[in-house]
Amino acid sequence: MNRPACIMLVAAEASGDTLGAELAAVLRRRLGDDGVRFVGVGGARMAKMGVQSPFDIGQLSILGFLEGLMAYPRVVARADETAAIAAREKPDVAVLIDSWGFTLRVAKRLKRLNPNMPVVKYVGPQVWASRPGRAKTLAGTVDHLLAIHAFDAPHFERAGLSTTFVGNPTLARDLSGADPERIRRQLGIAPDAPILLVLPGSRPAEIKRVAPPFGEAVALLTATHPGLEVIVPAASTVADAVREQISTWGCPVHVVTGDEAKFDAMKAAAVALACSGTVTTELALAGCPMVVGYRIGNVTYAIAKHMILTPYITLLNIAAGSAIVPELIQGACNGAALARAVAERLDDAALRQRQVVAQNAALDTMGRGGPDPSERAAEVVIEMLRAARA
């Protein structure tokens, strides 16, 4: 390659920003600092790798049917801005990370701009859980899928989409440096004080719906468990929204930001109360038992009930085939019920240990210990890059 390769990376949520940054780091190591430049859309982590996003991706964290309709003009405008980057920078290959609705619109625009440019989707829609028709839609829009679940590939390959299973990047997170004592020292928490970790989500809509019942549960738990310390890790993209919600809880809470503090807290916590998402896998990797709560809009829930093909929403439970992690969803996601489930674990060390053992078995089923997904994903991107530039 005579000129530096131009790779477009597009992520619209905090989890995708992490995946994009990890992929960019491997690509830069393999291609050299002078051999690649990155353009596209992302958050703070991708910015450190050189991706200068034209807008804040927080405005694309959309959840729910009605919310999606209301945000449609904004999503279209941001997709147009993203395509404008491609028109200006002329990337050799584009990698679109997760965020189904937004990245699908971007993919269509990129293909109209340059039908010959390879477009890679990193993380496919969970067609095994709902809306299987999305496999055919994706196959008609992108050139290759980097799948993070082994059971993804058959669904997309049947639809005619070339697919590579790279593994779940979350399972490759290195928590060996996490130090539970460090977070206690930093926050002034006594060595023997029990810690409850509360994670109300990484999307504004999640936080708006989940934080109030989580706050009710925290108030009940701190009243019945004297000395209980509460830590809330907040993603940088939603830290202000998290602090605003916590201000109404009426009890002392430690808010922390950054991965180091988050992983330290996961190792230090006795129990976690978490919104469903990537963080549940991270908690399991840290050996932290958890309770999952989740709420969406009532209209969205009414529609989703008839579309979901699995009995669980947490990947650990899907992998285990049973409810090893309690899931309190919609109406069941209320302060009293959440507090009861968390209290059972705070008060019973044996129950906590049994859940950790079950979580570890689920992690093994999900593929823990396999090759680094970012390395395999980078191999595929480089292969497509070289083919496109040949």
Mean pLDDT (whole number) for 357-364: 96
Position 62 scores a pLDDT of 58
Instruction: Say if CB 57 and CB 99 are below 8 A apart.
Output: no
What does residue 234 show for φ and ψ, rounded to 5 degrees? -125, 130
Contacts of 372 (CB under 8 A, 6+ apart): 26, 167, 172
Backbone torsions φ then ψ of 273, nearest 5 degrees? -115, 115
In terms of pLDDT, which residue wins out, 307 or 359? 359
The pLDDT-based confidence of 1 (bands split at 50, 70, 90) is very low
| 3-class DSSP assignment, residue 329 | strand
pLDDT tops 90 at residue 205: no
How high is the pLDDT of residue 38? 98
Provide the whole-model pTM.
Answer: 0.79
Q: Which domains does the chain have, with CATH numbers?
A: 5-167+371-389 (3.40.50.2000), 180-366 (3.40.50.2000)
> Which tokens hold the place of 161?
């989409």
- For the beta carbon of residue 114, count every other beta carbon within 10 angstroms: 14
Above 90 in pLDDT, residue 303? no
Tokens of residue 81, six digits: 């801005």
Task: Write out the two tokens for 17.
Answer: 């920003």
Read off the pLDDT of residues 246-279 as tens digits, 9 standing for 90 and up. 999 989 999 999 999 999 999 999 999 999 888 9
Average pLDDT, the chain: 91
Average pLDDT over residues 93-99: 95
Q: What is the share, in percent, of the chain residues with pLDDT greater than 70? A: 93
The model's confidence at residue 227, banded by pLDDT at 50, 70 and 90, is very high
d(C-alpha 167, C-alpha 367), whole Å: 7
**Nearest-angstrom CA–CA distance, 175 and 141:** 36
Q: What confidence score (pLDDT) does residue 102 get? A: 92
Reference 168, options 334, 344, 365, 386; nearest CA is 365
Q: Residue 11 is inside which H or E element, if any?
A: strand 5-11
- The model's confidence at residue 126, banded by pLDDT at 50, 70 and 90, is confident
* Per-residue exposure over 296-329, b if at least 16 CB sit within 10 Å of its own CB, e if not: bbeebbeebeeeeeeebbbbbbbbbeeebbbbbe
DSSP 253-276: -EEE-SHHHHHHHHHH-SEEEEES
